[in-house]
Amino acid sequence: MNKNSRRFKLCDRLYIGLALLPLVLGIMLQVATKPASEEISISGARIFVTLDLPIQDLPITESQINSWLVIFSLFWLCRFFTHGLTERANTKRQLIAEWIVETTDKLVRENMGEYFKGFSPFVAAIMGLSATSSLLSLIGLYPPTSDLNIVAGWALIVFILITYYKCKCGFVHYVKSFGDPVPLLAPLNVISEVATPVSMAFRHYGNVISGSVISVLIAAALQGLSSLLLGWLPGFLGEIPFMQVGIPAVLSVYFDVFSGCLQAFIFAMLTMLYISSGFPADDWEKLKKKKAAAKAAAAAASSNAAVANNG
């Protein structure tokens, strides 16, 4: 498809619009459902509706909806970046897309090795989802990373992957690994195994929610300080919180932008390190060689038997 064609440009605009649409819908939902309040409050994700299920009721919360909005936005944004790819990059969007892919591939190879090179899409998805979720606070939406349930779900997925690769050499080998280096340390190793997803979830959640709480507390303190020092100004000037101008924006740059992106990177790094370090590479190579030798021996025995029968 010609990149200068009308149809191509129309598809570009469509992808951009579809990427922005979930965010616009989230803002509209926020405005329509959140009651107006002049006081500064710190609260968790609101529950919109609760579904009655046989085992346990399922609450549909603000963080769940915003997570899906982020997923849809990232999907259409990826469609935009990959639209009209060519063998040689001649557009800025393709250069950005190639840079993201190459950087993620390099990061995975350096931290996980060649065996895990197929993890690049997963790692990129984790960083993109986490960073974008934290950045939702910039447009007034509740960031899903401020909900422990969301981050704990991500940590649980990572824990399942860690356990899967630890069991590559068999379940018995996995159980025996708890006795390394000394069998007496097995209880501590079990606790350490269970603590992995817990620490990942609380580290990410704690850093994000603490930044939000600190920002709100400082904004409230600046409002009170402005009223105390400048409340004597005549008319409506005394009601304007001059102290809140500028400082909360600077804090937002750190807590919402820098800290949010940093926590996304740390979560992805921990994912790569936990999975790669838990994989028994040496034992896996020995097992592969043993299976290959057994397969070759069985093939040779079958060939000898066939020759003997023909003879």
What does the chain look like in DSSP terms, one character per residue? Answer: --TTSHHHHHHHHHHHHHHHHHHHHHHHHHHHHSPP-SS-----PPEEEEE--SSS-EEEEHHHHHHHHHHHHHHHHHHHHTTT--SS--SHHHHHHHHHHHHHHHHHHHHH-GGGGGGHHHHHHHHHHHHHHHHGGGGTPPPGGG-HHHHHHHHHHHHHHHHHHHTTT-HHHHHHGGG-S-GGGHHHHHHHHHHHHHHHHHHHHHHHHHHHHHHHHHHHHHHHHHHHHHTTSSGGGGGS-GGGSSHHHHHHIIIIIIHHHHHHHHHHHHHHHHHHHHS-HHHHHHHHHHHHHHHHHHHHHHHHHHHHHH-
32-37 mean pLDDT: 73
Q: Which of 251, 244, 250 is nearest to 213 (CA)?
A: 251
For residue 141, which amino acid is it? L
For 86, how many CA atoms within 13 A lie in the half-sphere containing its CB?
Answer: 10
pLDDT at 25: 92
For 130, the enclosing helix (H) or strand (E) is helix 120-135
pLDDT at 257: 81
pLDDT tens across 48-92, in order? 888 888 888 888 889 999 999 999 999 999 999 988 888 887 788
Other Cβ atoms closer than 10 A to 57: 9
Listed range (7-16, 254-263, 265-274) with the worst mean pLDDT? 254-263
114-131 mean pLDDT: 91
The per-residue pLDDT of the chain, averaged, comes to: 83
Listed range (10-24, 65-79, 173-187, 212-226) with the worst mean pLDDT? 212-226
180-190 mean pLDDT: 81
pLDDT range class, residue 122, cuts 50, 70, 90: very high
pLDDT at 3: 59
pLDDT at 279: 85
pLDDT tens across 259-286, in order? 888 889 999 999 999 998 888 877 778 8
Tokens 């931290």 belong to residue:
111
pLDDT at 86: 83
pLDDT at 6: 84
84-110 mean pLDDT: 88
**Token output for 94:** 């393709």
**Token output for 109:** 């190879």
pLDDT range class, residue 300, cuts 50, 70, 90: confident
3-class DSSP assignment, residue 269: helix
201-229 mean pLDDT: 78
pLDDT range class, residue 114, cuts 50, 70, 90: confident
215-230 mean pLDDT: 72
Bridge partners, residue 60, by sequence: 49
28-52 mean pLDDT: 76
Compute the distance between CA of residue 69 and CA of residue 90 in angstroms, rounded to an integer: 31
pLDDT at 268: 92
pLDDT at 41: 61
